[in-house]
């Protein structure tokens, strides 16, 4: 999906999480495990304080000069999330289009979507991308955390991070084992009423007596029917999903650790070819298959100079579609192979000042095959058989400098990427380029409760082989009785990378022991301005050939389509979020707004959203092992559209939830999550004008975890 095509729908969410980044390397993953173990004894919602990812290493989230959020497993469970979009339902700057079907969901970060958003599973790139088939082939119940870095991130992550990064980490044995236990199991079941969906699954896990070896195996299933909408008829959305996860790790020595994982996702659905549409026509049997193999190495001796992580991986994703009314069968298959390595070296600079260098490299290769049984050669229009290779190298310095007038944190970074696209159908079609992506962020804390920060970054998105080599049939136009004129894709080897230059400025406040001992209040907000040039858009030229209307020799055609660099966009926005947490109360509030205009024409561009306020209130009752809360979303009307038909009304939704998790006694290990989403049945048009949101939805899950 290109940038301009993403204009069609606008909606945002707002979440109050101040702040945790994303983990890529094996050593960063190990740090996350340690944090998870520390948090395991906490029963309730709290404010995160440590990031292990925004800088590819442990980082204080409050002083990080940017916008990063983390959603913990506890919050994922409390949301009873059945899809990835529900995890981010309250995260500012994050929008999901294409719902409410899972297979249509596509993310946007601060107005940029499609290939401008990088998605990672346990540090592994998920490069499958289709306009109608979704991007998130993973079961929410398998996740330990979901993280999002908002704003250009090419300085560390290269292409596809022009809008930001969404990263997921899956659970492992240490997240589920009780203290001093070696083996355990978890069983879980659930139901939600809006689509009559049942969830059931089980997990086994364990570790050796000395803790050097650990492993986990998990399997879950979902089975659902049509989706009940707040207005109108039900939405065709039958789904049968099977998900699996296998993990194993070995602490070979005090310094060296190896780990391995296999992640599998199968989804059989019956829905329209365009999973983002509400039409019940043109139904297909859609089979989605995805698997990720990952191996990691962490080497961390007793040295400030070596903290090494290496991840090697391969992913395979495919979507096969069989039309019910015809014999046509189409397929898109993408394989990705790659590795990423990084190391951290820390140096003292005198006094309490220090600097940590993070540096490394990355290589990945994508291979795509498109199939269509109705074409002469079996190839699929718009899905070229092609290969892409990318190599990147990066370095970052993280300076911590205390002074008499306050503390400074300065984080410069730069990355160089070299990328090459080759058509597998025609070796003469080749496109190569390179890009340098610098970034610098500065935080200043004049007191221990006040933060001022800013950052400047440059980012890029390399044109994909889908955009460069698109060929074959695009669509057909009737030109007369019995006459049909095809329009064909045309490759464009001169397509240039999209480029971005972004500024962000913000401030934060943090206080402890505000009303009671041990409570905490955090507020952080920022304004950003992102200028994106060389936007890639699909240019469609409709021009009928003379043979369509007269007995003239030749082939009847209706013109060509190709991807071209077009306009420049300026995207600006403001986000502010705050959290308060104590032993008995959790409160959060977030407000976000965004604007995007074509600098040449003044038209609206990007995934723009209405102004939106999200509120969360939760009462904790430790003596009863109970938490009760409510979430409210207040959305203004969407008027930032080029076509008045795409305007959407304001709406308000309210959800309620309850978590009961006994911490002692015979019921220890039980967790019950219950809730009702959209209790007043509001017509929340979040994704498209005329597409109602999901009806009032009762949801519940029950799990039992035991270890011995």
pLDDT at 32 over 50: no
Confidence at 475, pLDDT banded by 50, 70, 90: confident
Non-local (6+) Cβ contacts of 700 within 8 A are: 80, 190, 191, 192, 672, 673, 674, 675
CA distances for 272 relative to 238, 374, 417, 516, angstroms: 11, 19, 38, 54
Write down the pLDDT at residue 282.
75
Q: What is the pLDDT of residues 286-302, one digit of tens each?
A: 999 999 999 999 999 99
Domain membership flag for residue 550: no
Domain membership flag for residue 556: no
The predicted model gives 247-276 an average pLDDT of 91
Write down the pLDDT at residue 686.
84
Write down the pLDDT at residue 681.
92
- DSSP string spanning 572-608? EEEEEEEEEE-SSEEEEEEEEEEEEEETTT--B-SS-
Q: What is the pLDDT of residues 58-96, one digit of tens each?
A: 777 788 899 988 888 999 999 999 999 999 988 999 988
- Counting the structural domains of the chain, the total is 1
Taking the C-alpha atoms of residue 697 and residue 227, their distance in angstroms, rounded to an integer, is 10
Domain membership flag for residue 544: no
Domain membership flag for residue 438: no
Alpha helices for 43-83 (secondary structure H): 73-78
Taking the C-alpha atoms of residue 638 and residue 691, their distance in angstroms, rounded to an integer, is 14
Confidence at 535, pLDDT banded by 50, 70, 90: confident
Q: Quick one: tokens of 559? A: 């013109």
- For residue 100, whether the previous peptide bond is cis, meaning omega lies within 30 degrees of 0, is yes
**Domain CATH number, residue 394:** 2.40.170.20
Q: What is the pLDDT of residues 180-210, one digit of tens each?
A: 899 999 999 999 999 999 999 999 999 999 9
pLDDT at 103 over 70: yes
Domain membership flag for residue 321: yes
Domain membership flag for residue 112: yes
Write down the pLDDT at residue 264.
97
Q: What is the pLDDT of residues 211-260, one digit of tens each?
A: 999 999 999 999 999 889 887 778 887 889 999 999 999 999 999 999 99
**Helix, coil or strand: residue 526:** strand
* Of residues 410, 384, 385, 412, the one with CA closest to residue 399: 410
Write down the pLDDT at residue 238.
85
**Helix, coil or strand: residue 79:** coil
Domain membership flag for residue 621: yes
* Of residues 458, 290, 455, 467, the one with CA closest to residue 383: 467
Looking up tokens 């080749």 gives 430
Domain membership flag for residue 486: no
Share of the chain above pLDDT 90, in %: 67
Domain that holds residue 230: 5-430+443-462+497-535+567-707
* Of residues 415, 397, 420, 307, the one with CA closest to residue 361: 415
Confidence at 131, pLDDT banded by 50, 70, 90: low
Rounded to 10 degrees, the C-alpha dihedral 347/351/353/354 comes to 10
Helix (H) or strand (E) holding 184: strand 183-192
Q: What is the pLDDT of residues 568-616, one digit of tens each?
A: 899 999 999 999 999 999 999 999 999 999 988 899 988 889 999 999 9
Which of 54-58, 148-152, 154-158, 351-355 comes out lowest in average pLDDT? 54-58
CA distances for 656 relative to 414, 578, 617, angstroms: 45, 20, 10
**What residues pair up with 486 in beta bridges, in sequence order?**
476
Write down the pLDDT at residue 99.
72
Q: What is the pLDDT of residues 374-422, one digit of tens each?
A: 988 899 988 999 999 999 999 999 999 999 999 999 999 999 999 999 9
Write down the pLDDT at residue 27.
46
pLDDT at 440 over 50: yes
Share of the chain above pLDDT 70, in %: 91
């Amino acid at each position: 999906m290109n940038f301009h095509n993403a204009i069609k729908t606008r909606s945002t969410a707002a979440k109050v999480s101040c702040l945790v980044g994303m983990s890529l390397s094996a050593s960063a993953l190990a740090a996350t495990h340690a944090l998870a173990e520390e948090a395991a004894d906490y029963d309730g919602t709290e404010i995160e304080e440590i990031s292990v990812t925004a800088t590819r290493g442990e980082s204080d989230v409050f002083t990080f000069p940017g916008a990063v959020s983390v959603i913990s497993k506890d919050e994922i469970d409390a949301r009873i999330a059945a899809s990835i979009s529900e995890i981010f339902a309250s995260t500012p700057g994050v929008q999901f289009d294409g719902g409410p079907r899972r297979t249509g969901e596509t993310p946007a970060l601060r107005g940029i979507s499609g290939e401008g958003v990088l998605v990672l599973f346990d540090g592994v790139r998920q490069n499958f991308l289709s306009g109608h088939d979704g991007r998130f082939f993973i079961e929410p119940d398998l996740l330990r955390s979901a993280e999002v870095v908002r704003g250009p991130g090419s300085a560390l992550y290269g292409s596809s991070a022009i809008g930001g990064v969404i990263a997921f980490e899956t659970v492992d044995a240490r997240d589920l084992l009780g203290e001093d236990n070696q083996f355990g199991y978890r069983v879980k079941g659930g139901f939600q009423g809006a689509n009559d969906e049942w969830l059931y699954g089980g997990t086994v896990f364990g570790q050796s007596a000395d803790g050097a070896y650990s492993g986990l195996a998990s399997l879950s299933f979902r089975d659902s029917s049509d989706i009940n909408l707040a207005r109108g008829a039900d939405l065709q959305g039958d789904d049968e999903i099977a998900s699996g996860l296998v993990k194993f790790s070995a602490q070979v020595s005090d310094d060296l650790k190896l780990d391995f994982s296999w992640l599998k996702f199968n989804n059989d659905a019956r829905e329209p070819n365009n999973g983002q549409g509400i039409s019940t026509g043109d139904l297909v049997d859609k089979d989605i298959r995805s698997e990720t193999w990952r191996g990691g190495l962490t080497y961390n001796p007793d040295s400030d100079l070596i903290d090494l992580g290496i991840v090697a991986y391969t992913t395979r994703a495919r979507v096969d579609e069989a039309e019910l009314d015809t014999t046509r069968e189409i397929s898109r298959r993408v394989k990705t192979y790659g590795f990423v390595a990084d190391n951290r070296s820390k140096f003292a600079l005198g006094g309490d000042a220090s600097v940590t260098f993070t540096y490394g490299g990355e290589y990945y290769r994508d291979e795509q095959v498109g199939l269509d049984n109705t074409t002469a050669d079996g190839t699929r229009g718009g899905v070229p058989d092609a290969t892409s290779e990318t190599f990147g190298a990066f370095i970052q310095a993280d300076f911590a400098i205390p002074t008499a007038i306050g503390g400074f944190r300065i984080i410069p970074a730069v990355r160089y990427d070299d990328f090459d696209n080759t058509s597998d159908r025609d070796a003469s079609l080749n496109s190569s380029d390179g890009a340098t992506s610098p970034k610098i962020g500065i935080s200043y804390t004049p007191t221990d409760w006040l933060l001022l920060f800013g950052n400047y970054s440059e980012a890029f998105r390399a044109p994909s082989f889908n955009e460069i080599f698109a060929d074959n049939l695009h669509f057909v136009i009737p030109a007369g009785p019995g006459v049909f004129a095809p329009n064909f894709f045309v490759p464009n080897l001169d397509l240039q990378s999209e480029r971005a230059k972004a500024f962000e400025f913000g401030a934060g406040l943090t206080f402890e022991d505000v009303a009671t001992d041990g409570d905490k209040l955090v507020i952080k907000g920022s304004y950003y301005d992102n200028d994106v040039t060389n936007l890639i858009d699909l240019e469609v030229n409709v021009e009928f050939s003379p043979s369509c209307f007269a007995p003239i020799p030749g082939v009847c055609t209706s013109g060509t389509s190709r991807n071209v660099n077009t306009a420049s966009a300026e995207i600006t926005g403001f986000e502010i979020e705050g959290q308060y947490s104590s032993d008995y109360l959790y409160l959060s509030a977030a407000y976000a707004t965004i604007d995007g205009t074509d600098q040449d024409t003044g038209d609206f561009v990007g995934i723009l959203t209405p102004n939106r306020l999200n509120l969360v209130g939760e009462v904790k009752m430790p003596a009863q092992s109970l938490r009760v809360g409510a979430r409210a979303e207040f959305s203004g009307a969407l008027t930032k559209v080029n076509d008045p038909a795409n305007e959407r009304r304001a709406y308000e939704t309210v959800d309620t939830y309850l978590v009961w998790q006994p911490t002692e006694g015979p019921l220890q290990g039980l967790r019950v999550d219950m809730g009702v989403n959209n209790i007043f049945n509001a017509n929340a048009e979040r994704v498209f004008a005329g597409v109602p949101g999901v009806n009032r939805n009762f949801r519940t899950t029950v799990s039992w975890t035991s270890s011995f």
